[in-house]
Structure 1
Amino acid sequence: MQDHASIVVVGGGIIGVSIANALTKAGVEDVLVLEKDSLASGSTGRSAGVIETQYFTDFDVAIRAYSLRAFERVADETRAEFPQVGYVRLLMDPDDEERFRESIRIQRRHGVDDARFLDPSEVATVVPDLNVEDVHGAIYGPSDGYADPYTMTQIFAERARTNGATVHTGVAAESVAVDDGEVRAVETSEGRVECETVVNAAGPWAPRLAAQTGLELPAAPYRRQVIVAEPPEEDAPDYTIPTVMEYVPGGSKAGVYFRGEGANQVLLGLHQEVGTDEEPSDPDRYSTDYDESVVLEISDLLDHRAPAFSDLSVVNGWSGLYTITPDTQPIIDTHPSIDGYVLAAGFSGKGFQIGPAVGEIVSDLVLDGETDLVPDLSPVSLSRFE
């Protein structure tokens, strides 16, 4: 174990390795990534892997459009698969139609030229098994898709290594040593590593690491579940199933989402805000299996939204953690009282699809104190919670 690095990145998920990759591309060779388990073993590896740009603000679209193009390049340059099966976000409230149409205009400004608005009959054409009786339309991104989070994490980590970074797995960052308001070192399970900068990209463990410096991050990990199911062979869909999302950001109701998985399976889950009586999970002690109650809840929603899928047989499933902030936006900022301490946390279940952009933004913050990837970082500033 080395005893010095210029920059230590804590966390070996897609966020951490993307940060290391961006830093090394910018010419910083002395970068060390610390992962307490194995790469992508936390929230990243338990993600549904969806990559899309169907959001509603300039910031959200900008980072997703950048990341989409980055994932496309990786797929072109490697053997990594990025099936661009499309993404359909359903319009359930007619009062939201203008917001949906504005999303398309924002996407155009960021180079996403194929997103379009669908009326209900067009939605039924894209997803023939969908019940659109109560659907008022949708935004549809044909270039959106999904990728394997584990594979992508390995690729970004290997690129960082090629450019000079060191990646240590099985090494836990236990605390950050601070003196006179400046980062001095990271204390690890394998010894002390002197450094000038630390990036806290520890996923569900990020609030704990921040708390060690006296900073209470407004983020907490909550358990979320995914199941994989398949229809009887004679009922297998004869079309490519895009990702379909019933939930709209900021909505109070849980919404089912699903996408095709492999040859004839369907991946399904629930997207929801934090429940009023829901308790955070301990990232070191939570069930990584799925619950039968969630299967029943998804089945009930499918009975209405996609009746043909309600008889699917569950073949696999798992749980992961969303580290959720009060507004479900991440925190990408510098520590308010410690020089050399950067925060990249609270991605609220969206970290995988924006990993490449976050890597570039954090690299810019570390090296220049600002970024031009997006015009304004206030949506992800820590000060917004003051």
Structure 2
Amino acid sequence: MTKLPSTAKAVIIGGGIIGCSTAYHLAKLGWTDTVLLERKKLTSGTTFHAAGLVGQLRSNANITQLLGYSVDLYNKIEEETGLGTGWKMNGGLRLACNEERWTEVKRQATTAHSFGLPMELLTPQEAQELWPLMDISDVVGAAFLPTDGQANPSDITQALAKGARMAGARIFEDTKVTDIEIENGKIRAVITEDGRIECEKVICCAGQWTRTFAQRFGVNVPLVPMEHQFMVTEPIEGVTSTLPTLRDPDRLTYYKEEVGGLVMGGYEPNPIPWAVDGIPRGFHYSLLDSNFDHFEQLMELSLGRVPALETAGIKMLTNGPESFTPDGNFIVGEAPELRNFFVGAGFNAFGIAAGGGAGMALAEWVHKGEPPFDLWSADIRRFGRPHFDTDWIRTRTVEAYGKHYTMAWPYEENNSGRPCRKSPLYDILASQGACFGEKLGWERPNWFADTARGESPKDDYSFGRQNWFEAVGREHKAAREAAVLFDQTSFAKFAMKGPDATSALSWICANDIDKPVGSLIYTQMLNDHGGIECDLTVARVALDEFYIVTGTGFATHDFDWISRNIPKGMNCQLFDITSSNAVLSLMGPNARMILEQVTRDDVSNDGFKFGTIRTIGIAGCPVQALRVTYVGELGWELHLPVEYAQTVYQALMRAGEEHGLVNAGYRAIESLRLEKGYRAWGSDIGPDHTPFEAGLGWAVKLRKAIDFKGRAAAEKQKAEGVKKMLACFTVDPSVILLGRETIYRNGERVGWLTSGGFGYTVDKSIGYGYVRHPDGVDADFVTSGEFELEVATERVPCAVTLHPLYDPKMERVKS
């Protein structure tokens, strides 16, 4: 065996497709001093038994781009390395066997068109011409993506490994990593059974072993192994080498050609977790016992689609463990708990499809300290406190696995592992008809059912208007005409304290936060390209202390971004105080009258101006009142210690009874903010979008001589102009907008919707999306065009504006 080097620039742990792809791309970036360590043999973990289907379409544009990169790489890696990969771009079919599924498929086709993929819609007969073995008696339609394909997982991994070696990386098999040496919070070395390798960066691509290994160093990787079975047949007459891959989600199954036969597998609704008490020692190149009884449900479903399977010879039933995650997406990025510890794992049985792109993204992340584009939906920082508990992760992952091929309904909520995190008002709101959703473990009221009207607090899913539509409309109307109370206790809340807190936040924030005590500042935090990494509110509560409020789902991400960007040597500390405070948001034109009845403090417009924070007393509670709004109405966020929540809530509801105060939920917040044009991070804005592209340039302190992260990029873009601009689109209320609908200007595709919904006050369906053009975009370009939206493959005319649809002052005058 070749002796291990004593030093390396980066060490990759794990020799599956993700590890080898990362090594390949790091070496290509000039990191020739990269070492990959595999405890046994390359592919011997889970890669070797993967099915090998390579599909590209996801609901997120950048994940689709990442999967498309895999296809481009697989098209050329064989020629580059001389190793066969089994890669075939034979296309992929997706069937629809009922009208709801057909609507889903048509919406997926529109998403594909938005992202530049040539997905075609086919009749059942046209689909059968491409896949002659199938019975189409129940097929309504199909979608075909000609650039999808399939690969041999082991061969393509070996090709990537050879490419990595050719570019200078070194790969060591039969080399078990036993420890990581960490000194003062910094990685110093990787320890193996064969010696120590000094390094600063570690990339853990250890598949189903990743969680347990990373946990030893305080890093949380939420994944668990699940059994996944597929059958391989003997050759079947009529199966050709050019047969497309086939996904039949209504029958929970997938198919691909293999040596003249078929591979058939699927995602049963009652999956079996594996290695609940830990992965057995020495497990490699190993499969689990075939479970024919459990697979029988998929076999029965498949016979209705491919009758030839009834008489086909069965070569094997492969049962191999795969790592799955609680939300069905993979995990990449630098761990928030340990600098320079990167993760690429949890690929939910589409690791071969993602392998090329994920390795590229991970390598770029290591190389530049940031991903090549926004990968929020796969970012390790999307997880939070519930994900530290393996039992909770497993419970939620079982549900995610079982939903792999079920209908992806709009607004669908998870049911498992609930309730987990509860506001002090949970029981009270439940008794008042709250229908709860869940985010990062928090139970949050989505809407309130009126039981007197016969409504039940339960979502009935469909692609049409759902059963909560009218209830949310009532809440929306109350917010515009009277007052509503939102329980937003789940907000992530941080405290930044210390003599250098102002200087640190002045560097991190794009807006000017060095304002008098009592000021409330809406701000973005930018990366070096001017992209929006965080979108939050900063309140100055003392000369050396700030109170920071951000979205529920961004708790880990935003805390990590702020803490890692505090300039070296500055004396300040960041604390997560989310669980300390409840939040009641009192919004609506009658909000002041209600607040005046429960506090002696001056809450008049002159006494309590917009954009300020004050401590007021309500029912014996010191309340931090923030005069701010995300719904476009007069209002306050009331932040208070959790033990006072019920008392303050009841005081507000009593006082508000004569003023029309009602409970309202997050779906009303969404419809209200769409009318007002407020942006949502993670959809409308993010690291790939700048304030000037998003219409938020007013919140960037370029007029002040204060340096801040991203300033140079912001100045350059302001001077040169933008190539995309966020605009608001409205269509007839009968058209349902969900986001990802394609935008056409004068007949040419120029982008897609980032968010969609309905505005009850304006009585229109509303969408937001970026209008793109390589030669630049300005207001005239947007407003002078004739626009259409493609919705479920049909184009509909739309109106476009760069201004809010609703202004409360104008609405008051009209009323």
- Would you say same fold, with TM above 0.5? yes
Note the 1:2-81 alignment, pairs <5 A.
2-77=5-80, 78-80=82-84, 81=86
- Larger of the two Rg values belongs to structure: 2
CA contact (8 A) 1:71 1:82 kept: yes
From the superposition, tell whether residues 159 and 240 of structure 1 become closer, same or farther in structure 2 (CA, over 3 Å). Answer: closer
In structure 2, which of residues 367, 376, 383 is the aligned counterpart of residue 378 of structure 1? 376
Note the 1:191-210 alignment, pairs <5 A.
191-210=195-214
SS class of match (1:226): strand
Deviation, 1:231, is 5.5
CA contact (8 A) 1:85 1:145 kept: yes
Note the 1:1-386 alignment, pairs <5 A.
1-77=4-80, 78-80=82-84, 81-108=86-113, 110-113=115-118, 115-230=119-234, 235-237=237-239, 240-247=242-249, 255-262=252-259, 264-272=260-268, 275=271, 278-280=273-275, 282-284=278-280, 287-294=287-294, 296-372=296-372, 374=373, 376-386=374-384
Range moving further from structure 2, 212-221 or 63-72: 212-221
SS class of match (1:125): helix
Deviation digits for residues 338-382 of structure 1, max 9, x if unmatched? 11101111111111111111111111111112233x3x2110122
Deviation, 1:175, is 2.1
CA distance in 2 between partners of 1:273 and 1:309 (Å): 22
CA distance in 2 between partners of 1:68 and 1:102 (Å): 23
Range moving further from structure 2, 118-127 or 23-32: 118-127
SS class of match (2:37): strand
CA contact (8 A) 1:56 1:99 kept: no
Deviation, 1:66, is 1.0
Give the structure, 1 or 2, with the largest relative contact order (CA under 8 Å, sep 6 or more): 1
TM-score scaled by length of structure 2: 0.44
Deviation, 1:40, is 0.9
Deviation digits for residues 153-202 of structure 1, max 9, x if unmatched? 11111111111111000011122222222111112121221110000100
CA contact (8 A) 1:61 1:106 kept: no
Report the AA paired with residue 161 of structure 1: R
Report the AA paired with residue 109 of structure 2: I
CA distance in 1 between partners of 2:29 and 2:295 (Å): 46
CA contact (8 A) 2:323 2:347 kept: yes
Deviation, 1:273, is 6.2
Corresponding residue of 2:544: none
CA distance in 2 between partners of 1:25 and 1:109 (Å): 31
Report the AA paired with residue 28 of structure 2: K
CA contact (8 A) 1:181 1:337 kept: no
From the superposition, tell whether residues 44 and 327 of structure 1 become closer, same or farther in structure 2 (CA, over 3 Å). Answer: same
Report the AA paired with residue 383 of structure 2: F
Deviation, 1:121, is 2.6
SS class of match (2:138): coil
Range moving further from structure 2, 142-151 or 85-94: 85-94
CA contact (8 A) 1:119 1:138 kept: yes
CA distance in 1 between partners of 2:344 and 2:336 (Å): 13
CA distance in 2 between partners of 1:328 and 1:280 (Å): 19
CA contact (8 A) 1:9 1:34 kept: yes
Deviation digits for residues 254-308 of structure 1, max 9, x if unmatched? 712111111x211111224674x74545443574343332553333112212222
Deviation digits for residues 15-50 of structure 1, max 9, x if unmatched? 001101111111111100000111111111111111
From the superposition, tell whether residues 312 and 274 of structure 1 become closer, same or farther in structure 2 (CA, over 3 Å). Answer: same
Report the AA paired with residue 384 of structure 1: R
Tell me the percent identity: 27
From the superposition, tell whether residues 239 and 7 of structure 1 become closer, same or farther in structure 2 (CA, over 3 Å). Answer: closer
SS class of match (2:302): helix
Q: Which runs of 5+ in 2 are unaligned?
A: 385-815
Range moving further from structure 2, 90-99 or 54-63: 90-99
SS class of match (2:72): helix
CA distance in 1 between partners of 2:137 and 2:308 (Å): 15
CA distance in 1 between partners of 2:97 and 2:110 (Å): 20
SS class of match (1:269): strand
Deviation digits for residues 92-135 of structure 1, max 9, x if unmatched? 4533444433433444455533x212232322222222223333
Report the AA paired with residue 261 of structure 2: Q
Q: Which runs of 5+ in 1 are unaligned?
A: 249-253
| Number of equivalent positions | 374
SS class of match (2:360): helix
From the superposition, tell whether residues 312 and 173 of structure 1 become closer, same or farther in structure 2 (CA, over 3 Å). Answer: same
Deviation, 1:333, is 1.6
CA distance in 2 between partners of 1:299 and 1:99 (Å): 25
CA distance in 2 between partners of 1:93 and 1:202 (Å): 40
CA contact (8 A) 1:227 1:290 kept: no
Range moving further from structure 2, 91-100 or 157-166: 91-100
CA contact (8 A) 1:67 1:355 kept: yes
Deviation, 1:88, is 1.2
From the superposition, tell whether residues 381 and 79 of structure 1 become closer, same or farther in structure 2 (CA, over 3 Å). Answer: closer
Corresponding residue of 1:251: none
Report the AA paired with residue 248 of structure 2: E
From the superposition, tell whether residues 273 and 153 of structure 1 become closer, same or farther in structure 2 (CA, over 3 Å). Answer: farther
Deviation digits for residues 218-258 of structure 1, max 9, x if unmatched? 101112122211266xx45468432111237xxxxx71211
CA contact (8 A) 1:72 1:82 kept: yes
Report the AA paired with residue 306 of structure 1: V
CA contact (8 A) 1:299 1:310 kept: no
